């Protein structure tokens, strides 16, 4: 708890006021990632491998943007920083630990940004949450790193809390807008996302399953794997939670 409190305290003043409410979530994720490091290792390596494969044969490597850079555990950041002239990390919150790691590379830039598109939709504007990428000079590569389902979860919570005036299909529209933004890019892109989850008891029986993309079809996968998000003992001694992950580029 001391480490979490220190990380929270260090991150809070470095985070814009609008996004400070998300610092706790990022610290909690950092804490869980540490506890589950062994169980998450394969997922993180598979994610990094997908990004490596997607970027491997690029003729030009000027600017790379990582959407949902998070803890950087699932992103081969050292290799991206060596290969590209500039690497831009985009997320709601950049923990102080991530900022410290980024400082080791002069070509890494950090941007705080809400990538959901919710505010635009609430204002009656057709959401283009990735439209800002059109202003990034010399853009050759974009990664959406285990972000899309998190957008869906965040949008669903916000919609349920303040649904007045929002379209009934808000969650689906904003997930679709993210996928459309990626597919509309003129450069190479790589999508890594969990698409579904299952709650499984210690006897292997599945008690609940759900589609994390709310019926929106993802692009064809080039790789798939299972991510043990909550192994036995993390949330319960009686069940584990597994997510299905895909990578596409």
Give the separation between CA 20 and CA 9, rounded to whole angstroms: 11
- Asked whether residue 163 carries a pLDDT value surpassing 80, the answer given is no
Which one, of 113, 102, 93, 243, lies nearest residue 178 by Cα?
113
Give the separation between CA 147 and CA 112, rounded to whole angstroms: 14
pLDDT band at 165 (very low <50, low <70, confident <90, very high): confident
- Asked whether residue 164 carries a pLDDT value surpassing 80, the answer given is no
Give the separation between CA 86 and CA 106, rounded to whole angstroms: 9
Task: Please give the pLDDT value at position 227.
Answer: 98
% of the chain exceeding 70 in pLDDT: 100
pLDDT band at 46 (very low <50, low <70, confident <90, very high): very high
CB 239, CB 206: distance < 8 Å: no
Task: Please give the pLDDT value at position 92.
Answer: 97
Mean pLDDT value of segment 161-167: 83
- Fold type of domain 2-248: Rossmann fold (3.40.50)
Task: Please give the pLDDT value at position 53.
Answer: 98
What residue ranges do the domains of the chain occupy? Answer: 2-248
Mean pLDDT value of segment 238-244: 97
* pLDDT single digits (tens) 69-97: 999 999 999 999 999 999 999 999 999 99
Mean pLDDT value of segment 110-119: 97
pLDDT band at 149 (very low <50, low <70, confident <90, very high): very high
Give the separation between CA 212 and CA 245, rounded to whole angstroms: 10
pLDDT band at 24 (very low <50, low <70, confident <90, very high): very high
> Average model confidence (pLDDT) for the chain?
96
Kind of pairing between the strands at 139-145 and 188-201: parallel
- State pTM to two decimals: 0.95
| Phi, psi for residue 170 in degrees, rounded to 5 | -55, -50
Extract the tokens encoding 78: 């050292």
Extract the tokens encoding 130: 């990735």
pLDDT band at 166 (very low <50, low <70, confident <90, very high): very high
Which one, of 141, 128, 87, 78, lies nearest residue 111 by Cα?
87
Owner of token pair 């993309």:
213
- Asked whether residue 162 carries a pLDDT value surpassing 90, the answer given is no
First to last CA, the chain: 39
pLDDT band at 1 (very low <50, low <70, confident <90, very high): confident
Is residue 89 classed exposed, middle or buried when 0-12, 13-18 and 19+ CB atoms within 10 A define those classes? buried
């Amino acid at each position: 708890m001391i480490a979490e409190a220190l990380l929270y305290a260090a991150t809070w003043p470095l985070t814009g006021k609008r996004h400070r409410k998300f610092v706790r979530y990022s610290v909690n994720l950092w804490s869980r990632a540490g506890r589950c490091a062994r169980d998450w290792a394969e997922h993180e390596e598979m994610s990094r491998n997908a990004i490596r494969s997607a970027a491997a044969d690029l003729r030009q490597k000027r600017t790379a943007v990582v959407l949902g850079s998070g803890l950087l555990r699932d992103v081969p950041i050292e290799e991206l920083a060596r290969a590209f002239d500039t690497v831009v990390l985009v997320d709601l919150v950049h923990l102080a630990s991530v900022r410290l790691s980024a400082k080791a590379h002069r070509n890494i830039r950090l941007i705080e940004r809400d990538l959901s598109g919710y505010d635009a939709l609430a204002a009656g504007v057709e959401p283009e949450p990735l439209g800002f990428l059109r202003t990034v000079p010399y853009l050759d590569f974009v990664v959406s790193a285990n972000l899309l389902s998190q957008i869906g979860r965040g949008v669903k919570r916000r919609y349920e809390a303040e649904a007045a005036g929002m379209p009934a299909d808000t969650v689906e529209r904003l997930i679709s807008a993210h996928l459309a933004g990626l597919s509309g890019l003129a450069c190479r892109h790589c999508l890594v996302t969990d698409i579904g989850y299952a709650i499984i008891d210690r006897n292997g029986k599945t008690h609940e399953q759900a589609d994390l993309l709310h019926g929106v079809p993802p692009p064809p996968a080039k790789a798939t794997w299972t991510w043990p998000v909550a192994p036995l003992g993390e949330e319960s001694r009686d069940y584990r939670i597994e997510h299905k992950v895909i990578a596409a580029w």
